[in-house]
Every structure is written in C-alpha cells, then in structure tokens.
Amino acid sequence: MNDAAARSAPLIQLDGVTKVYGSGGASMRALRGVDLTIRRGEFVAVMGPSGSGKSTCMNILGCLDVPTAGQYRFDGVDVGALSRDQRALLRRHYLGFVFQGFNLLSRTSALENVELPLIYRGTPAAARRRMAMQALDAVGLSAWERHTPAELSGGQQQRVAIARAIVSQPAVLLADEPTGNLDSARSREIMQLLTAFNRDRGLTVIMVTHEHDMAGYADRVIHFLDGLVANDDRTRASA
C-alpha cells in the first residue's frame, strides 16, 4: 500500500456500535448503533451535551471500554477480538491520552512524568530520558524538566501532559477537554500545539470539547445526541 492509499484507509472504524450499562429495567443505552470512520491524519472534534454518548464513545476508542454489540476496528484489527492484555498493548503502543485535569504525578518532575509511558513499555533508562527531553522540547518546555507540577502554570502542566502523550509516538492522540481548565490565551496555545502536531507529524487527533471556538481548529466536528452521531461536519479541507 502506498502512502496515499495508507492515508485514505480508515484508521478507526465503528460499525453499529452499541453500549448498554446495567440490565433489565435498570439498563441504560449509552450508544445506540454508532457508525464512524476516522482516517489517518485527521483532526476530529467531538461535541454533544452531557449524556449524549460522546464520552462512552471516546472510552471505546481508547480501549478503556468495549462495545456491547457492533464492531470497532483499529487499523484493520478487530479490537473486540482482542484480550484485555492485547487491548492494553494497543493503548500502550498506539494511543496517547490528554485529560482536562492534566493527571500528572504531583511529586515527580516534568521529565519523570513524560518518561512514565516509556517505563511501562520497558524502554531503557538512557533512551527514556532522551525521548522525554525531545518531547518536552517539542512542547517548548526543555528548560523546565526538573520542575514539579506545583511549580508550573496550568498551561505548562498541560504541555507536560501533551509531551507525555506523544513521547511514545502514538498513532492517535485522544484529548478529553484539553483546554477545559485553561484561560483563553493558554487554550489557544494548546490548540495551536495540537494543530502543529497534526499538521507536521501527521498525528491523528480526536478531541472532546464543549467549546465551539476550540472545535474550530479541527478538520471535522462530530456531534453526538442521544447515543448517536447527529451531525458530522467538515470544517476545512484535510491536507
């Protein structure tokens, strides 16, 4: 497969995905048959009111949950056929995560926080440090590697979180409200950083957000409502 074909092939595909929590009269259908295709190198924003199913869908895409029915394929692999350990390996090697609350270890340095995914992968210490420093440099924090989260601003903490997410060179970055705890200026800086990684590295970005101006940075905006994709709008032409 040539580069153009690889880029056009679906990286993520959901076919008729449902998710039901509970059973009997107490059951709740979070997803009601979602069909979704995301191609390599896209920047997708996911929006919707509370209870719309967007967070459930993101958990399934991140291999943190599994569908009740339907199929999730990642780069052609049927994720539903994988064991728990195999899904953990998929997360570790192909997915990076950024959260609204940063989720940094409070008593460790920025460098040590960024190294964490590489420790789980068994990367040797010297290589780990080199890769973590490169990731911190990519987010503009190479001079802050010894600082703990308490010594960093909110924007800097989110940059460390992004460095941690990209240090293992994932195929997909899943960002859950990455600007939710930041002011407008810092939010724009974070979005410009994510846009640059998407544009310059071809990193596929899937971002949940409630903010329409942040969603405007994406190629596509997918709106969830009542457990279904209600709208799937392209905001700008993909490169």
Instruction: Supply the pLDDT for residue 23.
Output: 84
User: Is residue 1 in some structural domain?
Assistant: no
Separation of alpha carbons 27 and 22, rounded Å: 4
Average pLDDT across the chain, whole number: 93
User: Would you say residue 145 has pLDDT above 90?
Assistant: yes
pLDDT at position 27 is 87
pTM of the predicted protein model = 0.92
Residue 102 belongs to what domain range?
A: 41-63+92-234
Interatomic CA distance for residues 211 and 48, integer angstroms: 10
Asked whether residue 135 is assigned to any structural domain, the reply reads: yes
Q: Is 204 inside a domain boundary? A: yes
Q: Within a domain: residue 24? A: no
Q: Is residue 151 part of a domain?
A: yes
pLDDT at 1 exceeding the cut of 50: no
Look at residues 221, 159, 142 and name the one whose alpha carbon lies nearest to residue 196.
159
**Encoding tokens for residue 188?**
């724009």
How many independent structural domains does the chain possess? 1
Domain contains 35: no
Q: How many H helices and E strands in the chain?
A: 8, 10
The pLDDT tens digits of the residues spanning 158-208 come to: 999 999 999 999 999 999 999 999 999 999 999 999 999 999 999 999 999
Once rounded to an integer, what is the mean pLDDT over residues 101-128? 95
Q: Is residue 78 part of a domain?
A: no
CA-wise closest residue to 13 among 162, 217, 172, 175: 172
pLDDT at 146 over 60: yes
For the stretch 23-37, pLDDT in tens is 887 889 999 999 999
Q: Residue 9 falls within a domain, yes or no?
A: no
How confident is the model over 43-92, as pLDDT tens digits? Answer: 999 999 999 999 999 999 999 999 999 999 999 999 999 999 999 999 99
> Could you tell me the CATH number of the domain that includes residue 187?
3.40.50.300
Q: Report the percentage of the chain scoring pLDDT > 90.
A: 90
